[in-house]
Structure 1
């Protein structure tokens, strides 16, 4: 499946002296500079009727630029009729509330049955958008809100917002231990040096910042609201484990489960039975990539985390403790 693209424009005084790829990215902001560079190299760009193939070429005022190309289908996965909990949808974007136990993107061990497969079924044209419009991911067993771009221009704008840290993503989590105050974890995250499937705090990792505040204290656990400033793989899970408050149920980062001192047998059973990280993307705020309207969505905390919270409250109350 292909989509033909025809673009026309004129360089103005603001473009004088710019590189061609830089000027075109400014003239056609719906498309990324890397994509425009590819179009230049493949001969899809003409200036005043003549083909140009050098991205570094300088532009001058009043030149007429034309781009004629096609967007090839970017996705090779197959569509699958998988139900999506769609919170919002228009012709440019959709926002979904992801359940637990659903992988976002195909990979080793999960070649289908993913959100990407579901998107291809729900919106076939999304095959023309890189990664089927997926702008950011949630881990397999993390629940909550994700935004997906249905067109290349929408994706370009959303990715730019993410990179500029203009999209607000808030999470609810339940962690081991009782925190006394909120705070910020500012620690680089990179691939774990020994464990291939793990991430870790490491000096050579990428800058990563997580802000958190206390939502509710329990006898030996804490419910948190967290906000991502960056979006690294497993960021919240790694950062909270780094400060010695790993997420309840986290199969990778909580370490060997230890019995909660003084907890009833029922409470111990609840904790042992919580088999995923207690993490939910509860709030999403962004500027609509086409209308520029500021939009926000909320996703209710899922039932398993609600029941865990109720059990922790009961455990706290049984021991005559209030927070």
Structure 2
């Protein structure tokens, strides 16, 4: 499958003196600069009927631009009938509530059985959108809200909003080890771990990463948090909380091993021992709709395993009012 693209525009006189790639980006904002540059280099752009294949060519103003190209869909991905929990849908976007255990995008060790494969089955036309419209990801065992673009214009606008950190807000609920006394912000760069290549780590050569957090509820030896991402690095919340010495409950990769407090109730002891994923849920998503500009917000209920853990932590705290407080 492929999508035929046919665009035409007159160059306004006030854009005279600007480069071809800059003019195209301004006249066709639904498409990314990298895609436009590829079109130019691949002889897909004509100016007054002549092929122009140099992005830096200056225009005078008044010219007629034409784009004639196709966007080829990736062939390596297959559609699979995997149930999606769809929270919202219109002609441009989908919002889903991702369950635990579902990988977002095929990769090493997960060639299929992912959100992407499910999207291709649910909405076959999405194969024409790069990465099947996926603009941000959640880890395999992190649950919660994701927005997916159904069209190229929607994807372009969502990616831009995410990169500019404008009108794209993601909030998370988490349960961490240790008692935190107050909220704050972690502003530490994140990059690939030096020796464990599947892990991330805080180090100065990494990419900028900012996580805001506040204490929602305190227990004897654990804390319930609300967090907001300002950036979106791989494993960001998990890495930043581990950096603060408060790894998430159940996060085997970043130090979240079971830590039952002294005198823990049997229910809490068993839950901590059997909790096999990081206690992290994307609870709230707010965006400006990529086409209409309308501000929209969705919330996803806390999953049962985190609800059960929270209740057990509360009961343990009540049962041990004078221990480890």
- Scaled by the length of structure 2, the TM-score of the pair is 0.97
Given that 2:263 and 2:320 are in contact with CA atoms closer than 8 Å, whether structure 1 keeps it comes out as no
Given that 1:47 and 1:65 are in contact with CA atoms closer than 8 Å, whether structure 2 keeps it comes out as yes
Match of 1:178 in 2: 179
Q: Which runs of 4+ in 1 moved over 4 A?
A: none
Match of 1:194 in 2: 195
Deviation at 1:267, TM superposition (A): 1.6
Compute the RMSD of aligned alpha carbons: 1.4
Q: Distance in 2 between matches of 1:102 and 1:232?
A: 19
Match of 2:241 in 1: 240
Match of 1:268 in 2: 269
Q: In the superposition, relative to structure 1, how do residues 282 and 321 fare at CA in structure 2: closer, same or farther (>3 Å)?
A: farther
Match of 1:230 in 2: 231
Query: What SS does the aligned partner of 1:252 have?
Result: helix
Deviation at 1:23, TM superposition (A): 1.1
Match of 1:4 in 2: 4
Given that 2:249 and 2:257 are in contact with CA atoms closer than 8 Å, whether structure 1 keeps it comes out as no
Query: What SS does the aligned partner of 2:4 have?
Result: strand
Given that 2:268 and 2:309 are in contact with CA atoms closer than 8 Å, whether structure 1 keeps it comes out as no
Q: Distance in 1 between matches of 2:217 and 2:164?
A: 31
* Superposed CA offset, 1:233-267 (max 9, x none): 00000000000000000020025544433313332
Q: Does 1:60 align with 2:93?
A: no
- Scaled by the length of structure 1, the TM-score of the pair is 0.97
Deviation at 1:307, TM superposition (A): 0.3
Given that 2:81 and 2:118 are in contact with CA atoms closer than 8 Å, whether structure 1 keeps it comes out as yes
Q: Distance in 1 between matches of 2:94 and 2:63?
A: 38
Q: Distance in 2 between matches of 1:106 and 1:320?
A: 48
Alignment of structure 1 residues 51-200 onto 2, 5 Å: 51-166=51-166, 167-200=168-201
Q: Distance in 1 between matches of 2:102 and 2:234?
A: 16
Match of 1:50 in 2: 50
Deviation at 1:91, TM superposition (A): 1.1
Deviation at 1:269, TM superposition (A): 1.0
Moved more, 156-165 or 107-116: 107-116
Q: In the superposition, relative to structure 1, how do residues 292 and 256 fare at CA in structure 2: closer, same or farther (>3 Å)?
A: closer
Query: What SS does the aligned partner of 1:314 have?
Result: helix
